[in-house]
Amino acid sequence: MVLSRPEIVGTFGVVTSTHWMATAAGMAMLEKGGNAFDAAVAAGCVLNVVEPDQNGPGGDCPLILWSVKRGKVDVICGQGTAPAAISTDKLRDEGLDVMPGIGHLPTVVPGSFGAWMKLLHDYGSMSVREVLEPAIAAARDGFPMKPGVAEVIGRGADFMKQYWPSSAEVYLVRGEAPQGGALYALPAMGATYARIVEESEAAGGSRENQVEAARRAWYEGFVAEAIDRFMREPVMDTSGEAHRGYMTGQDLADWRAEVEEPVTLDYGDYTVCKAGPWAQSPVLLQQLALLKGYDLAAMDPNGAEFVHTVQECCKLAMADREAFYGDPKFVEVPLARLLSEDYNAGRRKLISASARMDLPAGEIPGFGGEIRLRALGSTNVANAQMTVDGESGPPPHRSWTQFAAESHGDTCHFDIIDRWGNMISGTPSGGWLSGSPVVPGLGFPVSVRGQMFSLDADHPNRLEGGKRPRTTLTPTLALHQGEPYLAFGTPGGDQQDQWALHAFLRHVHHGMNLQEAIDAPSFYTDAIPSSFYPREWDPGHLAVEDHFPRATLAELDRRGHKLAIYEQWGHYNSMTMASKRGKELRAAASPRRQQCYAIGR
């Protein structure tokens, strides 16, 4: 198999991420004597700067890690909560039946920075200044503007000027969209990070004390104060009206990133570890539980039987995600049952040789909620009447508000292993430039992850104050025969636990190395309700890359899948993977987003 790039092999350390500047920042920390957790903070904060369409300092980030010192897998929840004052009834009183996709209403407490500081405080070894310097330099001195980001800003320029002037001030260059490929700086964002460093050092004392001072400056200091002020100003959102936000400085002060136990599933010689059902993470485990009933090793990894079997199991697991998942601090989620052998044996009987066109959730008495199915193109946003200039009537072109709803920001990812065997996988996201307006004085927006809440009063993922939305962010760590072995993940929303699963299966069942597993023909389905506004679904959909054999595509078509065929590596699948076996470290990165990069030595 001809690879897009080499699999990286070394013994000192490996870093792989969805942007080469983040990868380089992480590796720089390892070269300076830092560990994988120091490297993760540096890489993650650089991602917050250089991919503003995918994430930002005001976003979200779950982390899963193996600490040699602690000898166990931990999850750090960097997912912020809904404002205490918000509720389903309040939004319904405003005439809404679905949470808007942009603006102030769907904002949640920005959790990324709290996760970085928790990681640095409890597991790291370096100072706040050391780990933030690469991000400050990128924001201050500039970075190459991706053409795709320039396009997003260009399409939103008129909207920003009229409705979100604080965003226009930050993202436009003399009133115009930046040029793709040009050097681009975000000085206000860099200044915020620099002030955090100054306040942490002014606190003095131990390294840990300075890290805690940085956290306080964010959640109890000038960052929280700026967010509190801005939420009181109405801003335009996808409802076509301007709304104030519910979030306050007190919401930030009350929130902490927490360390949690992982949810795990044994799969052959592997133990796969994920975050809890406040994310979609356990859905990958249920897919594995369903796939235990098949001899995947005997299937051609590029054949129709493999693709069909994996994708049909995905639909059933995703149906259960939709029906049962929610923040376990607020609702009881029957995970033990959802991952059990007998439950999945029963679910497996629903799989046939033909593609399913429905989405049947399992029945667990006393649990679950209704799955709302909104057909693709059926919701108001698909027939938007608000134009960029705010006038009513049929728009002469698609409004940026509509574009933002359909083309929400995405996500970043990194995987890092150091020479001591520490291992971490993280998925920074949220705080997208298309999600909410820039907070004046800070230089970045706040996460609109609240769009993933349900407004159905009886649903486990219903909107409640102080609750975590059921997100799509889902890094993975796997043990092999009890030893930490593999860290992996990808951007991609609802596709994250599809693409990550495919790479894992091809690696463990078909002997592909990490780069081969990533490069192999990709596939996914949208035959599930989208986690993003306006939460539509496309029954029968199956996206495939055209370097599958012709016979595979013909057979999938015969089985009733509604194929959407993309050119080779044309999916957004941006897998990165890193592994450790003995002293040997390996890493790989997807060719599908040209900025993904793995390095090591």
How many Cα atoms are found within 13 Å in the side-chain-facing hemisphere of 430? 32
SS3 call for 505: helix
Crossing angle (nearest 10°) for helices 282-291 and 496-510: 40
Which of 265, 268, 271, 270 is CA-nearest to residue 285? 265
pLDDT digits (tens, 9 = 90+) for 285-331: 999 999 999 999 999 999 999 999 999 999 999 999 999 999 999 99
Does 534 sit behind a cis peptide bond, omega within 30 degrees of 0 on the bond before it? yes
The residue ranking higher by pLDDT, 383 or 509, is 509
| Statement: residue 407 has pLDDT above 50 | no
Q: For residue 397, what pLDDT is reported?
A: 39
Compute the distance between CA of residue 286 and CA of residue 265 in angstroms, rounded to an integer: 8
Amino acid at 417: I
Residues facing residue 66 across a β-bridge: 73, 423
Compute the distance between CA of residue 66 and CA of residue 74 in angstroms, rounded to an integer: 7
> Average model confidence (pLDDT) for the chain?
93
Q: For residue 393, what pLDDT is reported?
A: 36
Instruction: Count CB atoms within 10 A of the CB of residue 69.
Output: 9
Compute the distance between CA of residue 557 and CA of residue 569 in angstroms, rounded to an integer: 20
**Burial class of 191 by CB neighbour count within 10 A (0 to 12, 13 to 18, 19+):** middle
The tokens of 257 are what?
């990133």
Q: For residue 239, what pLDDT is reported?
A: 83
| Statement: residue 395 has pLDDT above 50 | no
Mean pLDDT over 562-583 rounds to 92
Global model pTM greater than 0.75: yes
pLDDT digits (tens, 9 = 90+) for 253-298: 999 999 999 999 999 999 999 999 999 999 999 999 999 999 999 9
pLDDT digits (tens, 9 = 90+) for 446-484: 999 999 999 988 999 999 999 999 999 999 999 999 999
Mean pLDDT over 175-196 rounds to 95
Q: For residue 396, what pLDDT is reported?
A: 35
The residue written with tokens 């930030």 in the block is 252
Mean pLDDT over 168-175 rounds to 94
DSSP designation for 87: B
Compute the distance between CA of residue 532 and CA of residue 451 in angstroms, rounded to an integer: 6
Q: For residue 594, what pLDDT is reported?
A: 77
In this structure, are residues 133 and 126 in contact, taking their beta carbons and an 8 Å threshold? no
Compute the distance between CA of residue 26 and CA of residue 75 in angstroms, rounded to an integer: 20
